[in-house]
Chains A and B, each alone.
Chain A
Amino acid sequence: MRSKASLGLKLAALGTLLFLHIPLLIIFLYAFTTDEATYTFPLPGVTTRWFGETLGRTDLWAALTLSLKVATVATLAALILGTLAAAAVYRSRFFGRDAVSFLLVLPIALPGIVTGIALRSAIGSLDIPFSFWTIVIGHATFCVVTVYNNVLARFRRTSGSLIEASMDLGANAFQTFRHVVLPNIATALLAGGMLAFALSFDEVIVTTFTAGQQTTLPIWIFSQLTRPRDRPVTNVVALFVIAITVIPIFLAQRLTAESSDTGGG
């Protein structure tokens, strides 16, 4: 039996939900403002000309390309390292197994600035020049855990007898991996990978310490936050970034929700 929520509780819950979402709606609104120099509300007029202007900005395209490249490589690294770690933790008990999980979670449990300045110290101490790879290496440290968590959760729901059956029927380890294990964890890999991609694509705190003079899209936005120069263009970029990060999250959510309904085991 389910009791009814009081009106006060319902209103409070609704209020919290509105608080979470109204700022996102405001981003949507401002992408269409005619106002160039301030953030005036109500909007003085509505236009779509900033979308065209944004498309023509080469600095933005360069920043976007760099961000996409970094996110792709960091996600690939996370997929490989995360799956390996998940498989190790799932299939055997060994001394220090808890320490593995702890070590993988640490980069997101500690404030991002700690990871950032730590990498910056290491880069400085070893006199490594800032490059594409310094950004990727930083991002991979905190992307691994999203893949690891997703894949480990899937392994735990997959019955071990499937693998034994495959081996009993004469498949070798590689065939078993390709035909039994991989199809089983495919959606978990996809979900974990998308989260890792979104995490990397949006990351700014660690990146400011590992990028040197390079500009990723978040660093471009951050520079506009502290010294607004291109307000209308920033408004459009903000809308675009919301769209591009929300879609994979939504899909990843669907993927993990569906598989937990039908996963069994």
Chain B
Amino acid sequence: MLRRLSTTLYQRPRLVLALLLGPPMLYMLVVYLGSLAALLVNSFYRLDGFTGQIVRQFTLATYADLLKPANLDIIARTTGMAAAVTAADALIAFPLAYFMAKFASPRLKTVLYLGVMLPLWSSYLVRVYAWKLILAKEGILSWFINLLHLNAPLDWLLGLPGIGGSSLALSPIGVFIVFCYIWLPYMILPIQTALERVPRSFEEASSDLGARPSETFRRVTLPLALPGVVAGSIFTFSLTLGDFIVPLSLGNSKFFIGQAVYSHQGTSGNVPLAAAFTMGPVVIMVIYLLVARKLGAFDAL
């Protein structure tokens, strides 16, 4: 019986393919793409302000709501933060990635790799919590700043308009530091991968042709590592765009996209506006991915 079934299957590769592919594709198409479709549909509904009920009729009213200055402000603030975090992470990640790819012995490289993987995979929430401990007014960073008598520069920094605030934890600077920390491993690994693919012979050829090490780095290594930076930036950018945990845990009352989505679907039950809000990150990420693909970032993933 089993043998006959086995033979039948062997003779019908298309059937086997359908049996293998059916369940996972059905799941992803129905649950995931179905939900994304529901999201899109919901963004064209609206919330009746008087009854608090969702009106299930096609309307552009919710998108008109989204284009109010206060909401555009939220989108601009979030995109700006994502760009700043991405740039900073690329700068912080590069030296370690470069060291791992070009100088570390195989043994040391394994250790360093684990050193990057562990924070990447250890609990995201707990790592945010760690920064709540660090940035607290009575916490370790204030203690350290006191020790070094750096209070005056810190106060100056917190006094800056736009990025300052009443304390580190409550200011955009604090949120920025935590975002940089949380997503940093996502930047290190693709840059390291890209750097490892730069053939040593290219760098040797460059130096044989008379380039100084700094010139070789700037004109050979760096351009070839760029796809890695772009690949890493996909993560740092996308993850910052959609996060609401960090600004809700620290931060002040100025919303990010994630917080707006979270609060609209929660307390006010305004799922349509929450849905319209997420279309922002979706559109931004689609454009970002298309550009990244042009720059060859997908090979470095």
| Residues of A that sit less than 8 Å from B by CB | 2-5, 9-10, 12-13, 15-17, 19-21, 23-24, 26-27, 30, 38-42, 80-82, 84-85, 87-88, 91-92, 94, 100, 103-104, 106-107, 109-115, 117-122, 124-125, 137, 140-141, 144, 148, 167, 172-174, 195, 198, 202, 204-205, 208-209, 218, 221-222, 224-226, 234-235, 238, 241-242, 245-246, 249-250, 253, 257
Return the contact of A84 from the options B23, B42, B133 (Cβ within 8 A).
B23
Residues of A close to B265: CB separation below 8 A: 117, 120, 209
Minimum CB distance partner of A198 in chain B: B121
Assuming the contacts A209-B265, A238-B126, asked whether A20 and B242 have C-beta atoms less than 8 A apart, the reply is: no
Residues of B close to A106: CB separation below 8 A: 32
Check A246–B125 contact: CB distance below 8 A: no
Return the contact of B27 from the options A81, A125, A249, A250 (Cβ within 8 A).
A81
Tell me the B108-133 residues at the A interface (CB within 8 Å). 110, 112, 114-119, 121-133
Check A114–B31 contact: CB distance below 8 A: no
Question: Is the CB of B267 closer than 8 A to any CB of chain A?
Answer: no
17 pairs across A/B with beta carbons < 8 Å? Answer: A9-B98, A12-B96, A24-B118, A24-B122, A39-B136, A41-B139, A91-B17, A111-B258, A113-B243, A114-B39, A118-B35, A118-B39, A226-B249, A238-B130, A245-B122, A250-B118, A253-B117
Check B25–A100 contact: CB distance below 8 A: yes
Question: Is the CB of B63 closer than 8 A to any CB of chain A?
Answer: no
Complex Cα–Cα for A174 and B7 (A): 11
Assuming the contacts A39-B133, A121-B275, A172-B2, asked whether A10 and B99 have C-beta atoms less than 8 A apart, the reply is: yes
Check B271–A85 contact: CB distance below 8 A: no
Return the contact of B278 from the options A80, A114, A122, A218 (Cβ within 8 A).
A114
* Per-position binary interface string of chain B over residues 137-157, scored 1 when its CB falls under 8 Å from any chain A CB and 0 otherwise: 011101100000000000000
Return the contact of B184 from the options A19, A26, A204 (Cβ within 8 A).
A19
Residues of A close to B244: CB separation below 8 A: 113, 205
Question: Is the CB of B281 closer than 8 A to any CB of chain A?
Answer: yes
Check B129–A17 contact: CB distance below 8 A: no
Minimum CB distance partner of B42 in chain A: A121
Residues of A close to B126: CB separation below 8 A: 27, 221, 238, 241-242
Question: Is the CB of B20 closer than 8 A to any CB of chain A?
Answer: yes
Residues of A close to B27: CB separation below 8 A: 81, 140-141, 144
Residues of A close to B25: CB separation below 8 A: 85, 100, 103
Residues of A close to B198: CB separation below 8 A: none
Check A238–B129 contact: CB distance below 8 A: yes
Query: Chain A: interface secondary structure?
Result: helix
14 extra interface residue pairs, beta carbon distance < 8 Å, beyond A110-B282, A222-B245: A4-B103, A9-B103, A16-B95, A20-B185, A41-B140, A42-B143, A92-B17, A117-B265, A122-B31, A173-B5, A224-B129, A241-B125, A245-B122, A246-B122
How distant is B147 from chain A, measured CB to nearest CB, in Å? 11
Check B39–A110 contact: CB distance below 8 A: no
Check A113–B35 contact: CB distance below 8 A: no
Check A81–B24 contact: CB distance below 8 A: yes
Residues of A close to B181: CB separation below 8 A: 19-20, 23
Assuming the contacts A173-B6, A202-B123, asked whether A225 and B128 have C-beta atoms less than 8 A apart, the reply is: yes
Check A122–B35 contact: CB distance below 8 A: yes
Complex Cα–Cα for A130 and B257 (A): 24
Check B133–A88 contact: CB distance below 8 A: no
Check B248–A226 contact: CB distance below 8 A: yes
Check B238–A111 contact: CB distance below 8 A: yes
Check A24–B138 contact: CB distance below 8 A: no
Assuming the contacts A26-B133, A118-B35, asked whether A17 and B121 have C-beta atoms less than 8 A apart, the reply is: no
Tell me the B166-204 residues at the A interface (CB within 8 Å). 181, 184-185, 188
How distant is A63 from chain B, measured CB to nearest CB, in Å? 12
Check B281–A249 contact: CB distance below 8 A: no
Minimum CB distance partner of A10 in chain B: B99
Residues of B close to A225: CB separation below 8 A: 125, 128-129, 132, 245, 248-249
Complex Cα–Cα for A218 and B127 (A): 12
Tell me the B212-254 residues at the A interface (CB within 8 Å). 234, 238-239, 241-245, 248-249
How distant is A247 from chain B, measured CB to nearest CB, in Å? 10
Assuming the contacts A20-B184, A38-B136, A225-B125, asked whether A246 and B242 have C-beta atoms less than 8 A apart, the reply is: no
Check A125–B41 contact: CB distance below 8 A: yes
Check B281–A245 contact: CB distance below 8 A: no
Report which residue of B99, B121, B138, B249 has the largest number of chain A beta carbons within 10 angstroms of its beta carbon: B121
Residues of A close to B21: CB separation below 8 A: 84-85, 88, 94, 100
Assuming the contacts A26-B134, A82-B24, A100-B21, asked whether A118 and B129 have C-beta atoms less than 8 A apart, the reply is: no
Complex Cα–Cα for A26 and B134 (A): 8
Complex Cα–Cα for A242 and B124 (A): 9
